[in-house]
Amino acid sequence: MADLVFNIAKGAVAQLAANVDAGSPANSRLILIPYNCTDTDDAVRDCDTVAAVEALSATAERTANGWNRKTLTSSDVTITIDDTNNRVDIDIPDQTWTPTSDVVTDLLIAYDADNTTGTDANLIPLTWHDFAITPDGSTVTAQIDAAGFFRAS
């Protein structure tokens, strides 16, 4: 599960993930981004766009040495409506990288309404997950919680 939900996305994560799952709009996607961050959770939580996350003083996206963004489409999103427990669970597949260097501390999952034209200023940050990795050249896997990356209840 998410370690924090961005203020801008509270109450909206399930709907935005449902947009991607339904392919509506057609080019909507979830974007998974690795970061090295020593900013506070409060500083991260207050960001309203991925561009704002990028602008934090002690946060760096990892884009080299085996790290990259992952784009998730409708076939990658699973939404389970659990009427028994009165909740909605949203899951994505585990993700892998083979990094050779660059420490990562966190993963961000963002919503992109139009993956063909989206920029970081248009990406809405949804959830932030602890993911402490010191690469050694072997494959690392972001094992998404068995219940999913997000639960609305």
Structure confidence by residue, pLDDT tens digits, 64-86: 999 999 999 999 999 999 999 99
pLDDT recorded at residue 78: 94
Q: How far apart are CA 117 and CA 112, in angstroms?
A: 9
Residues 19-49: tens digit of each pLDDT: 999 999 999 999 999 999 999 999 999 999 9
Mean pLDDT of the chain: 94
> Which residues, 6 or more positions from 40, have their beta carbon under 8 angstroms from its beta carbon?
none
**The total number of structural domains that make up the chain:** 1
Domain span at 41: 4-152
Q: How far apart are CA 92 and CA 62, in angstroms?
A: 21
pLDDT above 90: residue 118: no
pTM more than 0.75: yes
> Which residues, 6 or more positions from 55, have their beta carbon under 8 angstroms from its beta carbon?
none
Q: Is the dihedral of CA 34, 40, 44, 47 positive or negative?
A: negative
Q: Is the dihedral of CA 97, 13, 15, 55 positive or negative?
A: negative
Query: Looking at residues 142-153, what average pLDDT do you find?
Result: 87
Q: How far apart are CA 153 and CA 62, in angstroms?
A: 32
pLDDT recorded at residue 61: 98
